[in-house]
Amino acid sequence: MNSNSLSVIIITKNEAHDIRDCLNSVVWADEIIVLDSGSTDETLKIAREFTSNLYLSNDWQGFGIQKNRALAYATKDWVLSLDADERVDSKLKQEIQKILKSPKFEVYFISRLSSFCGRFIHHSGWRPDYVARLFKRGSAQFSNNLVHESLTFNKASSSLKQPLLHLSYKNLDEVLDKMHRYAMLGATELHAKNKRATLLGAVGHGIWAFIRTYIIRLGFLDGPSGLMLAINNAETTYYKYLQLYFLSK
């Protein structure tokens, strides 16, 4: 039986440090779609080495809406959605290609193996981290969340065995940048839902985020990286509710 064709969709903005390795890991796909939202680095120059399907959309309305825009450009039978800091290794590639020869479901989850400052995290709530990323075109779309978007569908689904490598938080600068960016996006999303926060509540949410990550989700088993991750989660959560407090005012 002939394999179904595959589109890979990626949204970008200033991803020159990541995009080459990401695209190189999916050069075997039938189609690669890159939707950029105003990069000022060499993201587009690098992307042109791998695909001519480059599109621009500077009207940023959140990750979910942007991924749906990228999805609209896909033309192949199946779609694999990736972030620029993710990689498909040879084992996952082989599993995807095997699935596409004779798929039994229309949506597949993939477990992400994520790194924090150079070390892969196996606890702290980061594993197995199943995300729906491989799906038959037309069977699913992304939620309209500003951040932490997810795939929405009403089809039966299954999971792949091989992980998707997620090279997140490469250094302290990236940790701090993402902490403030995600805190603001999260606060904006909560504010749009008429949520409110107090200063004491922001502190409480931050403390609980640390306890959940480091103790309940066994972050201490990840060593120093687990402690750093727990502190980062606590700070991000604290700043998110602190931002919500000011937005509420």
CB of 9 closer than 8 Å to CB of 70: yes
Write out the residue limits of the CATH 3.90.550.10 domain(s) in the chain.
6-166
CB of 53 closer than 8 Å to CB of 32: yes
What per-residue confidence (pLDDT) applies to 145? 84
How large is the C-alpha radius of gyration of the chain? 19
Spatial CA neighbour of 82 closest among 139, 138, 35, 140? 35
pLDDT tens for residues 202-220?
Answer: 999 999 999 999 999 999 9
What per-residue confidence (pLDDT) applies to 148? 82
What per-residue confidence (pLDDT) applies to 249? 80
What is the pTM (predicted TM-score) of this model? 0.89
Round the average pLDDT of the chain to a whole number and report it. 95
Joined together, the tokens standing for residue 203 give 């502190």
pLDDT tens for residues 96-135?
Answer: 999 999 999 999 999 999 999 999 999 999 999 999 999 9
CATH number 3.30.300.90 is the correct assignment for the domain at 6-166: no
Neighbouring residues of 117: CB distance < 8 A, sequence distance ≥ 6: 169, 170, 171, 172, 175, 225, 228
pLDDT tens for residues 73-102?
Answer: 999 999 999 999 999 999 999 999 999 999
Model confidence at 2, in pLDDT bands (50, 70, 90)? low
Decide if pLDDT at 1 tops 70: no
Q: What is the mean pLDDT of residues 239-246?
A: 96
pLDDT tens for residues 135-186?
Answer: 999 999 999 988 889 999 999 999 999 999 999 898 989 899 989 999 999 9
Decide if pLDDT at 10 tops 80: yes
pLDDT tens for residues 30-40?
Answer: 999 999 999 99
